[in-house]
Amino acid sequence: MFVLCTGRSGSSGFIKACKHISNYSSAHESLSEALGSARFDFPKSHIEADNRLSWQLGQLEKHYGKNAFYVHLKRNKELTARSFMNRFLMPKSMIYAYANGIKKLPPEILNSEQHFKICIDYVDTVNSNIDLFLKDKPNQLSIELEDIHSGFKMFWKSIKAEGDLEKALRELDKKHNRSKKRNINLTYSFKHAILKSKLYLDQWFKS
């Protein structure tokens, strides 16, 4: 059973709530560092939330396909993007990797408006990937974070969960994995200064 999402959309809290389910195990990004088939070697009767799986949907299809239950956990696009904005100063973050590695747009030389556009693009891209993957899946559920209680109750019923639903719902009211603005570290600051200097020099020589 898989919870697919963009990240910054409540997956940590969702799994915390799942800890109150007694007939399923649950984890958050538990095999994200594994390679090959080990990446998909999840226990039976298990609920896994991992936004990085949205980049490995072909392999997820190969290993589980229509035999798994899928949740597409969504959050308001703008709020999700603004949460990712606070992570541009984290060189190992998903949004940094997307901007720098996939879009070839080094975050250090971009302004905040450009950062936000990249975050919106990331959210649209990941949700589109998930929507396409789920197109033919018979066992799936879309849950909006803004209506998480209703969605989680439906999820609970759909998987025939056993345990303490009331405790699970109270868990969803807590704030988990909050995204705070990080101070720019020395490595980032140095890299930022070098790239800015190069950009200014390139513009000066072209003028």
* The predicted structure's pLDDT at residue 183: 46
* The predicted structure's pLDDT at residue 90: 80
* Contact between residue 167 and residue 32 where contact means Cβ atoms under 8 Å apart: no
Question: The CATH number of 2-206 is which of 1.10.287, 1.10.540, 1.10.3430, 3.40.50?
Answer: 3.40.50
Going across the sheet that includes 25-28, the strands are 25-28, 46-49, 2-4, 70-74, 140-144
* The predicted structure's pLDDT at residue 77: 97
- Measured distance CA(113)–CA(102) in Å, rounded: 19
Kindly give the parts of the chain with pLDDT less than 70. 176-207
The answer for 93, left when phi > 0, alpha when psi is -120 to 50, beta otherwise, is beta
Question: Phi and psi dihedrals of 130, rounded to 5?
Answer: -65, -45
Q: Is the pTM of this model over 0.75?
A: yes
Q: Which residue has the tokens 């090959």?
A: 36
* The predicted structure's pLDDT at residue 109: 84
In degrees, to the nearest 5, what angle opens at C-alpha 59 toward C-alphas 24 and 90?
A: 80
User: The dihedral of CA 127, 129, 132, 136: what is its sign?
Assistant: negative
* The predicted structure's pLDDT at residue 182: 47
